[in-house]
Chain A
Amino acid sequence: MSQRENPPSWAHVGRHAAFPQAAHDDTARFDFLANLNGFLAGSLSPRVREAYEQEVRPAYEREHGQPPENRHQVRRAMAGNSTFALWSALRRGSMEMRQQAGRSLVLHQLDALIEASAELNADSPRLLLDPSVEVPRYARAVDIHCMPGGYHTELVDDDVSAAANYDCGIFATTGGMLGRLNDGGGQALVQWLRQSHPEFAPRRVLDIGCTIGHNIVPVALAFPAAEVIAVDVAAPMLRYGHARARALGANNITFRQANAESLDYPDGHFDLITTAMFWHETSATAMPRMLREIHRLLADGGLTVHLEQPQYAGMDPYEQFIRDWDAYNNNEPFWSVMHEYDLPAMMASAGFDPATYFETRMAGVVDRDIFPVASSGGEDFGRAALWTAFGARKP
Chain B
Amino acid sequence: MLGQANRRAKGKRPWFFNDPDVERVLNITMVLAMEHAVTRQRLDALERLIEAKGLLTRNELDAFTPDADAEAERTRWMKTYIARVLRIVAQSSEAASDAERAAEPAMDDLINQLRGESPT
* A-contact 0/1 string along B1-22, CB 8 Å cutoff: 1101111111101111100000
If A32-B34, A89-B16, A331-B11 touch, whether A24 touches B1 (CB-CB below 8 Å) is: no
If A97-B31, A103-B5 touch, whether A143 touches B10 (CB-CB below 8 Å) is: yes
Compute how far the CA of A53 lies from the CA of B9 in the bound complex, rounded to whole angstroms.
33
Counting CB contacts under 8 A, is A31 at the interface? yes
Counting CB contacts under 8 A, is A29 at the interface? yes
Chain B residues numbered 1-58 whose CB sits less than 8 Å from any CB in chain A: 1-2, 4-11, 13-17, 23, 26-27, 30-31, 33-34, 37-38, 41-42, 45
Counting CB contacts under 8 A, is A88 at the interface? yes
Whether B27 contacts A96 by the Cβ 8 Å rule is yes
Whether B2 contacts A104 by the Cβ 8 Å rule is yes
Counting CB contacts under 8 A, is A329 at the interface? yes
Chain A residues numbered 79-127 whose CB sits less than 8 Å from any CB in chain B: 84-86, 88-90, 92-94, 96-97, 99-100, 103-104, 107-108, 110
Closest to A95 in B: B9
Whether B30 contacts A148 by the Cβ 8 Å rule is no
Whether B1 contacts A107 by the Cβ 8 Å rule is yes
Counting CB contacts under 8 A, is A25 at the interface? yes
Whether B14 contacts A92 by the Cβ 8 Å rule is yes
B: residues with CB less than 8 A from A are: 1-2, 4-11, 13-17, 23, 26-27, 30-31, 33-34, 37-38, 41-42, 45
- Inter-chain pairs besides A92-B16, A103-B4, 4 sampled, C-beta below 8 Å: A25-B41, A85-B16, A100-B5, A143-B10
- Pick 28 A–B contacts, CB within 8 A, sort by A: A24-B45, A25-B41, A28-B41, A28-B42, A32-B33, A36-B30, A84-B16, A85-B16, A85-B17, A89-B17, A89-B23, A89-B26, A92-B14, A92-B16, A94-B30, A97-B34, A103-B5, A103-B7, A107-B1, A107-B2, A108-B2, A141-B11, A142-B9, A143-B10, A146-B9, A149-B7, A150-B10, A331-B9
